[in-house]
Structure 1
Amino acid sequence: MVKFSDFAQTLQSSDIAALLKLTEQPEVISFAGGLPAPELFPIEEMKKVDVAILEKEGRQAVQYGTTEGYVPLREEIAKRMKQAFFVDCKAENIVVTTGSQQALFILSQILVNKDDTVLMESPSYMGAIMAFDPVCPKYTEVPTDDKGMIPEELEKILASDAKVKMIYVIPDFQNPTGITWPMERRKAFMDIINKYDVVVVEDDPYGELRYDGEKLPSLKSMDTQGKVVFLGSFSKIFMPGLRLGWTVANPEIIDKFVKFKQAVDLGTSTFGQRQAAYFINMFDLDAHVTKIKALYAKRRTLMYESMQKYFPEGITFTYPEGGLFTWVTLPAYMDAKEMMPKVIAKQVAYVPGGIFYPNGGNANHFRLNYSNMPEDRIVEGIQRLGEVLKEELR
């Protein structure tokens, strides 16, 4: 018998995972995943990109690369950080990662010890919870409203817990709620952070996907003490299968980050990094992002209007200004996880909300994704979901 580590013995398949497996069937209208629209993947352009890479760089393009990442791509990321997130940085401040998920794992490993405290929004991204779990932290959920973390509550926690090592936040179009922190909330948050010895991980995979209103400065752009680590991603603005993310941080964190990443994978795909860099130089990534935004904005509005039409009274939901998700709140007595088999019987799927809370509870929520399904299936799926909700309401 294999003797697994203590942590490995805690790993179990969840009943939710078993239910979500059913959503892979083509007849299921799935609002469960955070999947981009595949019809927007630039396949024809990528054929030309691949040929250009191999003609120009040949075998060097598939050789090992540095752990930090392909320099031309890091230079393009530095330009994008300035343009899209208002952050002045250089290539040496950037590490290319195998998706943002890898960065979350590495940051928890280099910043957090067992039983240290990690602060998160309530709710927060379940993938971050999964990435942090191996270090066995204590999670404290900071009370959160429709504008993000409540500053007064955050300060109370920081003042009372000396073991807080890391704060994880998604200020733009948060996963799972879709909410965005307004400017005054960002300023208040940074004013508090500047008083404490703590690292902030700002995860921003959706920041360029704004459909309404004006782009707000990232927390990293307001960081005067090097406390904010910024995570960006090509998954939502380009192609998720390339698994390309990036981390921007101060030199001290970058040094430890790179050393740990060397142990994890030596380096992110050298060819994949070139694919992104060449695409940026050969084609117009901004025009591609504009196309994505137009489609997702249409689907966001259609889902919202469909929920208004088909959901019964007593059910509330967010209207995100961007990103991929809306958050549905049921009456307190209802359990979205218990309701899920009835929804899947109607060949519709969502993600029940309890798994987005690191300390559990809050079963009366679920997350819906609107980016992946075509318009007719969004309307049909929301109508079917509305039928189940009407049956379940007392």
Structure 2
Amino acid sequence: MKVLIFGHRLEVGGTQVNAIELSAYLRDACGHQVSYFASAGPMQDLLDSAGINFLPLPDTKSHPSVARMRVIDEIIRLERPDVVHVWDWPQWLDAFLGIQLYRKVPVVVTCMSMVVPSLLPKRALTTFGTPDLVNQARAAGFRRAELIVPPVDVRLNAPDVIDPTAFRKQFGIAEQDVLVVTVSRLTDWMKSESIRRTMDAVRALGSDPRLRFAIVGDGTARSDLEGYARGVNAELGREAIIFSGALLDPRPGYAAADIVVGMGGSAMRGMAFSKPVIVVGEHGFADLFSPETEEYFTFNGMYGLGDGDPSNKHLTAALKRLLESPEERRSLGDFARQYVERHYSIDTIGQKLNELLETAAQSPVRLRHVVHDAVRTASLAVAGRLARRH
């Protein structure tokens, strides 16, 4: 089967890693012919190293993009795929006219957001990343909502795969130091709140000189976050918080960590490295991943919404608990690794995705369904643009 993957701009990010790793799995484990189209960016190196055929698209800041739609149509005309796997609603806006309505190629749409975007098609086969979101989507009228959780390649992300000493040496992390690591895009939207709160927790516990915090990533919020970190470091009188910048391969950061703080795929990769993980979200949410919280995170994903309590007590308490107990760090890390192997292995998720793609490819594109989705999506997109102008 010939599969085209329509991915995000190839900037450094967890969803891009998910899409590329699943593309390689579909080719290597399932025997499909796979090509990947997206706007160029630094993650193209990961595509190239995986040997996946890359078809570049013009970049854009708004969707739908006429320039993109023209190139997409030409790609579909030349490649003649059996099915197209579209990642998230911006790509869907660029794709639905040319791929489904005009070329009549089946699609599977994957959404890894922590909400159900109204712009997504309700009649196409659409996947969401948690059982809770699947339930929400079905209640909202999505006819073919399915579960595809963020996958983790548990062979590439494993405790003994990467030597942690180079990362720790590069950033002056001593053997006795307890290193907290966050791997994240540094953006104001969703991410920066939990990073600031982690810095606040480090400040609160900073009388323990072993505590260090490494932030692996880059983005538009980096300069503000670095300014905040300078204030914390000055108050503590030492370089407790460091920035490594973005790493195309962030595994050395996970390997070097004693504790991982993160959300979504970043939290799960930390778990795959047998690290204890504090899962963060928005509005002050923070909780340890543990046998007591496993059920919550399985249903809701590695994320949560807090009650807005400004005290930061949950994150500080979780970090203090792990800082003081190396035995609990080990036991929770082992538990996390076993959990990821059971639920998020790329072999399990890749097979489920393969079944969905094959089902879509064998299902005829029903014109009335496509027109219904196209009109609905276009109406919502126009309404959104008009609302932003006022």
- TM-score normalized by structure 1? 0.23
- TM-score normalized by structure 2? 0.23
